[in-house]
Amino acid sequence: MSEEKNKRLRPLMLVGTGSDVGKSVLCTAFCRIFRNDGYRPAPFKAQNMALNSFATKEGLEIGRAQAVQAEACGIEPQTDMNPLLLKPNSEHTTQVVLHGRPVGNRSAYDYFRREGREELRNEVCAAFDRLAACYNPIVMEGAGSVSELNLRDSDLVNMPMARHADARVVLVADIDRGGVFASCYGSVQLQTPDDRARICGIIVNKFRGDRRLFEEGRRMLEDVCGVPVLGVVPMLQGLAVEEEDSVALEHKRRTLQAGKVNVAVVLLRHISNFTDFDTLERDARVNLFYTASAEDIEAADIVILPGTKATLDDLVELRRSGLAQAILRAHAAGRQIVGICGGFQMLGRQVTDPLGVEGGIACLPGLGLLPVETTMRAEKKTEQVEFLFHGELCRGYEIHQGVSTAEDAVVEAERCMGTYVHGILDNRAVIDWLLAGKTKDAAPDVSAEDFKEQQYERLAAEVRACVDMKMIYDFLKYD
């Protein structure tokens, strides 16, 4: 590493004009860019609200987006990268995970009250300080919109965190949804004068078509906002980098496809860790789609019940909507059924919740396809695991509240398989077993790990090509 690369850089924070503007993916890109440029970056998001989570080597839980960003940095994920994780149980309550461990359920009203916020603020700031002492630079991610005035005093993750970190802030806007001028102008102007001065530039994201057509718009945006446009990033077609928001699933409601192995993932209301299916979805032999249609479920070759943050509530809805019966009919017709985590629990004989961990439902019968019974416990199990699957060593991680009577990593019955292991479908042996007899096409010749590395490199190259990295480095230099 050159002497120049040994110099410390200010943290870079990406905030958004709203949710789902692409902050997480762009943070991943900058993590890989800084790594490729000889730095030792690390990701940080003070508070993450997501049902996609990851278990660290220490058996602690963080948002999966920060685990992906750590992967792009080439370092092990740790809780200081996401000290506060909120996992919604319903529209009104959320599980609060602090430094990787659950500390209780809170209503949204109680959580966002000003009282007691300073204790959480001290915790997330201390986590940032520990991380910043070891890595350079820190790539910080904001949450939602940066200009929610009603949440300004209780905010832990956007501009107050930027002030603590003395970060340079870049505003990310999604031009594809429209209103880019108003959203950027409003996001900048609604800041306090001190916070407004921290915003050093704008990245216009998800542009479609010839970017030269936006040159005049770029100049106009700079004029009205008073900050430079650092880049116009195109809609990155065909790029397979994990997305954090379940909004992305709305674009994956495809239909059945002839000549492919059709895999239907049941679209549960509280679906979690849907990134479990990314590797299978990329397999050229497979047409994977998300659905809440009984007709699609019965017609698919394989049906997957995914993880959920609210097993009992989703089990009630599964029966009410008729999807439980559709799954049973599909199984009776010879289809393969797979359950992961909460889906595994639902496929058993019974799920009980004597302590009210998930709410007011004490006990429900499952679908009865697997010989297991599950009891919800107050303690959450979070750990990385290795296991043998049909003689092959496989890896994944577990994050679950319930304890089931079967102790094996994978439980099999006739045309039915259940497991607590997230990431199980990243293992070639499992996918090959699942597709055996359903296709004659050859398996892909690249591993999940190699494929992800290729995608991180491609993402970094594409973002570097359309963002002014020299200007960003100039902003990050200490005076």
Domain ranges for the chain, please list them: 3-240+454-476, 261-435
Q: Give this prediction's pTM.
A: 0.88
Predicted confidence at residue 2, as pLDDT, reads 46
User: Between these two residues, 454 and 255, which has the higher pLDDT value?
Assistant: 454
Predicted confidence at residue 120, as pLDDT, reads 92
Of the given ranges (199-203, 233-237, 252-256, 260-264), which has the lowest mean pLDDT?
A: 252-256
* Residue tagged active-site, from 99, 331, 400, 422: 422
* Residue tagged active-site, from 27, 31, 184, 341: 341
Q: Is 466 a catalytic residue?
A: no
User: Between these two residues, 467 and 151, which has the higher pLDDT value?
Assistant: 467
Spell out the CATH class of 261-435.
alpha beta
User: Between these two residues, 395 and 243, which has the higher pLDDT value?
Assistant: 395
Q: Decide: 117 and 161 in contact? Cβ < 8 Å.
A: no
Mean pLDDT of 11-29: 96
Mean pLDDT of 271-281: 92
- Answer yes or no: is pLDDT of 1 > 60: no
Predicted confidence at residue 191, as pLDDT, reads 96
405-416: pLDDT as tens digits: 988 999 999 999
Predicted confidence at residue 437, as pLDDT, reads 92
Phi, psi of 49, rounded to the nearest 5 degrees: -110, 110
Q: What mean pLDDT value characterizes the chain?
A: 92
Report the DSSP beta bridge partners of residue 404: 374
Of the given ranges (210-219, 237-246, 347-356, 428-437), which has the lowest mean pLDDT?
A: 237-246
CA distance 352 to 373: 8
Predicted confidence at residue 171, as pLDDT, reads 98
198-209: pLDDT as tens digits: 999 999 999 999
Predicted confidence at residue 3, as pLDDT, reads 47
Mean pLDDT of 242-267: 76
CATH 3.40.50.300 applies to domain 3-240+454-476:
yes
**Do 3-240+454-476 and 261-435 come out as alike in CATH topology?**
yes
- Answer yes or no: is pLDDT of 115 > 70: no
Phi, psi of 276, rounded to the nearest 5 degrees: -55, -25
* Percentage above 90 pLDDT, the chain: 79
290-302: pLDDT as tens digits: 999 999 999 999 9
* Percentage above 70 pLDDT, the chain: 94
- Answer yes or no: is pLDDT of 444 > 90: no
The two structure tokens encoding residue 306? 């995914």
377-391: pLDDT as tens digits: 989 999 999 999 999
Mean pLDDT of 253-258: 77
Question: Using 50, 70 and 90 to split pLDDT, how confident is the model at 109?
Answer: low
Predicted confidence at residue 246, as pLDDT, reads 52
Q: Is 251 a catalytic residue?
A: no
The two structure tokens encoding residue 60? 């602690």
